[in-house]
Amino acid sequence: MRPRASAREAEPAPPCTLVIFGVTGDLTRRLLMPALYNLSRWGLLQEGFSIIGVGRSAMTPDSLRAEFDTAIRGFVADRGGDLASQGVDEAAWRRVVGRLDYVQGDIGEAATFTEIGRRLDAGEVGANALFYLAVAAQLFGPIVRRIGEAGLAREQDGAFRRVIIEKPFGQDLASARSLNRDVLSVLREEQVFRIDHFLGKETVQNIMAFRFGNGFFEPMWNRDRIDHVQITVAETVGVERRGTFYDATGAMRDMVPNHLFQLFTLIAMEPPVSFGADAIRDRKEEVLAAVRPLDGEVAIRDAVRAQYTAGTVEGRAVRDYRAEPDVDPRSTTETFVAMKLAIDNWRWGGVPFYLRTGKSMRRRDTEIAIQFRQAPLALFREAGVDVQVPNWLVLQIQPDEGISLQFGAKVPGPRVKLDQVTMGFKYRDHFQVDPSTGYETLIYDAMIGDATLFQRADNIEGGWQVVQPVLDAWAALAAPMARYAAGSAGPREADA
């Protein structure tokens, strides 16, 4: 197996203090701590790295460390394989939690931020600070404002001050704009790192490498050769314990303007002039700006929403969405959405893009399937072959990561008969992929100031701009809510 070259070849991030708001939350324990541990194992965290956790509970650095200790042991054991058998690399783990501090305080109070500032000034690592907002979305604006008021966003003597903001970034176009305004009244755009964790996935990053690092598909990457594109993010999980959040959000807001549009823009964007953050983000923004607006009746025709009913997913009984904990029994929140988008530009004129995502579906599957135009079949007609074998390029994002091509091949025998065959590449056959959370690259990139994998203000608003008319039409025109049984492939209406 080949080594995990990319991480080993990278330079360690500059020393900094990571200030985590929401340090006692699920995200910190499940994803951030394991990601920091991996960065440390790969030699990418400097000795001077430190953490200041911020929370309301009465905790001490020691009790927090004990919680994280348990979490990291669980992470290592769960991943199995070499990682589990080697156990926790104690030296690497010490570099993560060796300098752990805790500020107990209410984020609504200025005193909390004064105290954070005092601890930052007292630290030995210089004044580089990365604030991570791992909190409920309604707190993003207020925390950034307090950071500004306490003077913590000021970059002095070459030190950086940066803020990582989790999703959801806004609930609709208006709230996203207003949050951007608030954030940018305190910070420069270069100080803001808006997370979309799909961009932390290697296979998502590979879309660009595949398209622009290889010459053979680019000449075919347009309306002359491509018939249509299907982007699917099917999940087997339901709403789990997130009923309150999910019922107020729904599949469209939760998945489409962010995760699905990352896949969509990476496939549809023009080649950037460089791999620089702004060059790439400019090209993505142009795709969203060229999407034909889905207004009124068009939205009702070209966007389908649905809710799951009781069923069985992977052998487990799933109740009706409306019977899930913390979900309104008369809820009209969609757990599935499918939509057809058109991009009005020269590359894609006339090529439909079908996007769909849903919860409690038959199997977990995130993939991009590109169907190429049919070959002229005259050659085979004489031989009595009229079966059309579509040519597909499939980028399998997760699970079972890989890329495959499907095409027709002659079935051996005296008759000319075509059958569909697959030529495939699987990541696991070629690369040794360390068990990771997907947050490693994102945290590291924020530390080195590379915003390529983060959303710029206009990317966020561009995404909302596309889905807002659909949300409005659904609300105003009482669009039908289709149903699909949990464990099925989604509603019939979506196929139509």
Q: Which is nearer to ligand BG6, 129 or 195 (CB)?
A: 195
- State the virtual CA torsion across 60, 446, 69, 52 in degrees, nearest 10: -10
Nearest to 294 by CA among 169, 479, 492, 459: 479
Rank residues 252 and 466 by Cβ distance to ligand BG6 and give the closer one.
252
Which CB atom, from 95 or from 167, has the smaller least distance to ligand BG6? 167
Q: How far is CA 286 from the centre of its chain?
A: 20
Out of 235, 334, 401, 461, the residue judged to bind ligand BG6 by CB under 6 A: 235
List the one residue out of 337, 330, 280, 348 whose CA is nearest residue 306. 337
In angstroms, give the least distance from the CB of 314 to ligand BG6. 15
Provide, rounded to whole angstroms, the least separation between the CB of residue 409 and ligand BG6. Answer: 33
Q: How far is the CB of 169 from ligand BG6 (least distance, A)?
A: 11
Q: How far is the CB of 306 from ligand BG6 (least distance, A)?
A: 16
Residue 351, classed as helix, strand or coil, is: coil
CA of 456: how far to CAs of 95, 440, 444, in Å?
Answer: 31, 20, 18
367 binds ligand BG6 (CB under 6 A): no
Q: Burial letters for 324-348: b for 16+ Cβ neighbours within 10 Å, e otherwise?
A: beebeeebebbbbbbbbbbbeeebb
Residue 421 CA to residue 26 CA, distance in Å, equals 44
Query: Taking a C-beta distance cutoff of 8 angstroms, is the pair 403, 367 a contact?
Result: no
Which of 17-36 are b and which e, b meaning 16 or more Cβ less than 10 Å from the residue's Cβ?
bbbbbbbbeebbbebbbbbb
Q: CB-wise, 65 or 253, nearer to ligand BG6?
A: 253
Site for ligand BG6 in 140-179 (CB under 6 A): 167
Task: Select 254 or 445, whichever has its Cβ closest to ligand BG6.
Answer: 254
Task: Indicate which single residue of 18, 99, 130, 254 sits in contact with ligand BG6 (rule: CB under 6 A).
Answer: 254
Identity at 137, one-letter amino acid code: A
180 or 357: CB nearest ligand BG6: 357
Kindly identify the residues of this chain, within the stretch 399-458, that bind ligand BG6 according to CB under 6 A. Answer: none
Chain mean position to CA 439: 10
Q: Is 22 left (phi over 0), alpha (psi -120 to 50) or beta?
A: left
What span, in angstroms and rounded, lies between the C-alpha atoms of 307 and 318? 13
Contacts of the segment 478-482: beta carbons below 8 A, 24+ positions apart: 479/299, 479/300, 479/303, 479/305, 481/305, 481/306, 481/307, 481/332, 481/334, 482/304, 482/305, 482/306, 482/307, 482/336
Residue closer to ligand BG6 by CB (options 201, 340) is 201
Shortest Å distance, C-beta 267 to ligand BG6: 17
Q: Per-residue x/- marks for ligand BG6, 45-84, CB under 6 A?
A: ----------------------------------------
Core vs surface per residue 278-288: b (16+ CB within 10 A) or e: bebbbbbbbbb
- Residue with Cβ nearer ligand BG6 (235 or 445): 235
Provide, rounded to whole angstroms, the least separation between the CB of residue 248 and ligand BG6.
12
Quote the least distance from Cβ 140 to ligand BG6, whole Å: 15
Residues carrying an active site annotation: 259
Contacts for 431 with CB less than 8 Å, ≥ 6 apart: 1, 2, 4
Tokens of 135: 């909190």
Residue nearer to ligand BG6 on the CB measure, 125 or 397: 397
Minimum distance from residue 151 beta carbon to ligand BG6 (Å) = 33
**Closest distance between ligand BG6 and the C-beta of residue 429, in Å?**
22
The whole-angstrom separation of Cα 236 and Cα 60 is 38
Question: Quick check: 226 and 372 in contact, CB under 8 A?
Answer: yes
- Count of residues that bind ligand BG6 according to CB under 6 A: 4
Name the residue among 64, 47, 44 with its Cα closest to residue 125.
Answer: 47
Backbone angles phi, psi at 368, to 5 degrees: -120, 120
| Residues forming the site for ligand BG6 (CB under 6 A) | 167, 235, 237, 254
